[in-house]
Amino acid sequence: MSTTATTAPRRAPLPEGTLPVGLSLLVAGVATFAFFRVGRNALGGDDEFQPIQSMWFATFALAPGFFLPLEQELGRAIAHRRARGEGGRPVFARVLRLGIGITIAVLVAMAVFSPLITRAYFDGDWWMLGALAMAFVAYAPAHLARGVCSGSGRFRAYALIIGADGVIRIVVCVLFAAIGITEPAPYAFAVALSPLVAVVTLGARGKLGTDPGPEAPWAEVTQNLGWLLLGAVFAGALLNAGPIAATVLRDDEPRALVTQFGYGVLMARIPLFMFQAVQAALLPRLARLAAQGDFVEFVSGFRRLMVLVAGIGILGTVGAWMIGSPVVELVFAAQLSGRTMAMLALSSAIYMAAIATAQAVVALRGHEFVAVGWGVAVITFLLGTWLSSDLLFRRIEIGLVASSMAAFGCFAAALRSRLAAGIESLPTSPGPLPELPLES
């Protein structure tokens, strides 16, 4: 009997690092629910917790939108250099400069519009604006550290950054509650500073270092970066648009109502949260198949992915309609209808399909189509919330569903176009995409 088959290495069912990163995502998700529950009780109710929730959703609309593309490009470039036996320190230096520039630009914009932001979004609470600015600054090194870890294959360190962020936040929240702090500002700054703890710890232990290597031209880290940034900013804004819009549009509605809507958004995102593990396991493979020109397997793999997405989305939407209302009442003591929970879950399901399709388009070097698609989705959300209804929740729900459908439709059309074009017409890639866990 030939020994070739018996000695060939077995293909790992999941990419390296998927399990520790998946566990860290689970820890972070549980910590998020705990933070909202403990913080709400500590501050005395939904009305008092609303500023924290507004700052929370604004943070995660801004920070991943601007810094996740830097993380992914840094990880890709370092992984590509590792494959060639070259150090990634010059690449990190380039991306660090980009990160500093983006951070300064956004902070300047926040300072210029600070009176408007504080008045319209934070009800005049300048502490919340300060916490938002600090959180944006803190998540810059966190994302860059994650890029170094993923590109260097240090997935346990990557997982620690994700998990520690949530754990530190809830630990500080519990301590504040135990000593009787009832002002929202300290809790907001706990959100802002929590990502730095793991970064400082790993840095002190030498886990974030990179080796010297050949000088990195800007093209090595900026190819398609502009489109990636634009698309990520739009996608992040759309993901958090529901609670942000509820805060801005509430008029005379009580703040507690807006807070409860945010709870519903968190619950409806559970399938989307679970989908992150699917992204980490399957979507990088689509990128490799595209680079190899194996479109038959590419289409087959994408179809399997979409079947899984459809199954998760249907289960999530039906489950939200049937038991979403009692579950959100049990967890957060919030009063939301089954229709609201189902609409939020439906929008998350379609958004999940849009993410999967967008990543397939990116694998085919269609970065500009993805940026345009997310831009169209944001415009659709604005129009949907403006024209659809006078009811606060309903207009936002319609806007979320319509915008997710718009994004999915744009990406589906782009994917069909890129597949029809074939690999010969696609620009060359600077290197294979690493096995990066992708955020939603």
pLDDT in tens, 46-82: 889 999 999 999 999 999 889 988 988 888 788 778 8
What is the per-residue DSSP string for 113-138? THHHHHHHHSTT-HHHHHHHHHHHHH
| pLDDT < 70 stretches in the chain | 1-18, 276-288, 291, 422-440
* H helix and E strand count, the chain: 18, 0
Tell me the CA end-to-end span of the chain in Å, nearest whole number: 48
Provide the whole-model pTM: 0.83
Closest CA to 323 of 308, 336, 306: 336
Give 397-400 contacts, CB < 8 A, sequence gap 24+: 397/242, 397/340, 397/343, 397/344, 397/347, 398/343, 399/241, 399/245, 400/241, 400/242, 400/343, 400/344, 400/347
Closest CA to 39 of 52, 30, 26: 52
**H or E element that contains 97:** helix 89-112
Q: Break the chain into its structural domains and give their ranges.
A: 15-223, 225-425
Whats the size of the chain, residue-wise? 440
| pLDDT at site 287 | 64
Using CA atoms, how far apart are residues 189 and 192, in angstroms rounded to an integer?
Answer: 5
Using CA atoms, how far apart are residues 86 and 396, in angstroms rounded to an integer?
Answer: 49
Using CA atoms, how far apart are residues 297 and 255, in angstroms rounded to an integer?
Answer: 51
| pLDDT at site 92 | 92
Indicate if the alpha-carbon torsion angle 315, 316, 318, 319 is positive or negative.
positive
Using CA atoms, how far apart are residues 322 and 413, in angstroms rounded to an integer?
Answer: 33
Q: Over the stretch 111-162, which tens digit does the pLDDT of each residue have?
A: 999 999 999 899 899 999 999 999 999 999 999 999 898 888 888 898 899 9
The answer to whether the CB of 232 falls within 8 A of the CB of 64 is: yes
| pLDDT at site 284 | 58
| pLDDT at site 347 | 95
Which tokens sit at 83? 């494959």
Closest CA to 344 of 409, 268, 252, 402: 268
Closest CA to 328 of 267, 397, 256: 267
The answer to whether the CB of 235 falls within 8 A of the CB of 65 is: yes
255: helix, strand or coil: helix
| pLDDT at site 282 | 58
Indicate if the alpha-carbon torsion angle 321, 325, 326, 327 is positive or negative.
positive
